[in-house]
Structure 1
């Protein structure tokens, strides 16, 4: 009966569930938003148009959003909530205590009121460019970091924050977030721990025109990150080149023999200028060392021959000196024996004792009296 009467009257009945809303138009004009429950709408000539929405999705997306707010503001206010941000604002939209969306500047978001409760946190990103740590953690966990520049600075590093090409501040270790909507936010990280720099195979021409290769090493750390980044394009490259030039200048003024003789002291001579130059760039040079001096193959052979000849000459001198000392000692011994016959006899006995220990049988002939008579005479004397 109801269906027949609705058909006669030109009406159509629709049912909206608790999670649904129906947007109806008749003859191209908005009738309103309806639900939940059963509704009867005019439908003569098939001029009724309906759109069913699931409010569980939260967001209201429809080409009729503006006409609905303009022509039926009371209906729109009853079912919908609109959030809007200004030119220098961003907004964090929360649904039932959970982050739902992040609005960029000059943006609008319309949601179903009954899908809430809803809350919005509006931030002036010009006055407060940094994202609060607690909010940043929630945004990262929710995966809503599209409009945020996130930088994690490790221990032993510092971060240099630049906003639209202007250095803003120095960031300590930790996780930092900044609103980057409508601006360019970059964070350059600089290591402040002690670092090493090696220069291998650097060729140098000495004063006596010998080409050598040297290996250098340097220990340094950044003491002023701002100066180190702004003053030069790459402070590590600047240190590399400063070491190259300093040792070329120092070693080029010396002969090969002087370089080999003063290898240890050359570090301090070359380091003085490099240390002062890098200090002006915010870099402390802790230590500079000349590790290796590598000679060409033929020069190395010649040098080895020279060293061998010098050592041989030194050995000959020592040998002659020892021979002289030994001869002098023999001469002194002979003089003592000539002046003291008893001492001569004792030496003879020592020689006989040594010989007797090496043979099984020994016969001694010492004149007509023999050795024992001489021993007795020696005892009587």
Structure 2
């Protein structure tokens, strides 16, 4: 009787172990995950999201995320083509496009992309002068992305963007650039002022030509100026010499008319 009970107990234990093993074989992959499955060390396939079974130890599965990864590129001390020492920090965005190659072709895809990004930023930026770097940042970002993407394509990863987010200049270079910017603003201000004076001189010359062709216009302008002065309640009014000459000529004409009569 005891032997029967022991056999039943062993059967229950065996069934329980099988149930536990089957439960432990369940794996759930999220929507953004893929599972790279190996059977006895050989690549078996890539499984999609949902419920799947992995029978350990004959099968192993490595999870791979397909979401875009934001990777900080540490600050790099770079010497530009015009021998200016700067510190550049950047950020790269990439995602896995081929889970199989991301697991089989490279040991640690994140670390590999980080290292190749640092060296690429240093090499590409070093080919440009400081002025080109500040003026053509977007173009340089695109060149860095293309170079990194060519290296990461065999690893099953695609770099979508690389952005230079910080450029640290030496203090003496910052002061020099501040003086250059101030001088440039002063130059533009002088050019604008000179252009205004030139346009005013042209208009005054045109007005002078019109007044010369019509002498009465000068008298009307003089009377208008006198009217503007009188608005301010000034006690002294200055008459132009030309205006007095005109008055004398008018009086002489009146005397001649009276004499002829």
Alignment TM class, shorter chain as reference: 0.7 to 0.9
Listed one character per residue, the Cα deviations across residues 244-266 of structure 1 (whole Å, up to 9, x for unaligned) are 22221121122212222322211
* Distance in structure 1 (CA, Å) of the matches to 2:26 and 2:188: 71
State which of 183, 193, 202 in structure 2 corresponds to 1:319: 193
Shift of residue 293, structure 1, vs aligned partner: 2.3
**Secondary structure of the corresponding residue to residue 172 of structure 2:** helix
2:145–2:160: 8 Å Cα contact kept in structure 1?
A: no
* Distance in structure 1 (CA, Å) of the matches to 2:167 and 2:25: 49
TM-score (normalised: structure 2): 0.78
* Distance in structure 2 (CA, Å) of the matches to 1:210 and 1:309: 21
Q: What CA RMSD, in Å, does the superposition of the two structures yield over aligned residues?
A: 3.3
Runs of 4 or more above 6 Å deviation: 360-366
* Distance in structure 1 (CA, Å) of the matches to 2:237 and 2:193: 39
More helix by share: 2
Shift of residue 353, structure 1, vs aligned partner: 4.0
Shift of residue 168, structure 1, vs aligned partner: 3.1
1:149–1:185: 8 Å Cα contact kept in structure 2?
A: no
Shift of residue 241, structure 1, vs aligned partner: 2.0
**Secondary structure of the corresponding residue to residue 31 of structure 2:** coil
**Secondary structure of the corresponding residue to residue 326 of structure 1:** helix
Shift of residue 356, structure 1, vs aligned partner: 4.0
Query: 1:117-266 maps to which residues of 2 (within 5 A)?
Result: 144=20, 148-180=24-56, 183=57, 185-266=59-140
| 1:102 matches 2:4 | no
Q: How many residues align?
A: 245
* Distance in structure 2 (CA, Å) of the matches to 1:328 and 1:369: 28
Listed one character per residue, the Cα deviations across residues 49-80 of structure 1 (whole Å, up to 9, x for unaligned) are xxxxxxxxxxxxxxxx6xx4xxxxxxx49x96
* Distance in structure 1 (CA, Å) of the matches to 2:245 and 2:54: 122
* Distance in structure 1 (CA, Å) of the matches to 2:215 and 2:102: 91
Listed one character per residue, the Cα deviations across residues 14-65 of structure 1 (whole Å, up to 9, x for unaligned) are xxxxxxxxxxxxxxxxxxx3xxxxxxxxxxxxxxxxxxxxxxxxxxxxxxx6
**Secondary structure of the corresponding residue to residue 254 of structure 1:** coil
* Distance in structure 2 (CA, Å) of the matches to 1:323 and 1:282: 65
1:163–1:185: 8 Å Cα contact kept in structure 2?
A: yes
| 1:333 matches 2:207 | yes
Shift of residue 305, structure 1, vs aligned partner: 0.9
More strand by share: 1
Runs of 5+ unmatched residues, structure 2: 252-261
Runs of 5+ unmatched residues, structure 1: 1-32, 34-64, 69-75, 85-90, 94-100, 104-138, 375-381
* Distance in structure 2 (CA, Å) of the matches to 1:193 and 1:344: 81
Listed one character per residue, the Cα deviations across residues 197-252 of structure 1 (whole Å, up to 9, x for unaligned) are 22242221112221112222222211101101111122122222222222211211
Listed one character per residue, the Cα deviations across residues 122-146 of structure 1 (whole Å, up to 9, x for unaligned) are xxxxxxxxxxxxxxxxx5xxxx359
**Secondary structure of the corresponding residue to residue 102 of structure 1:** helix
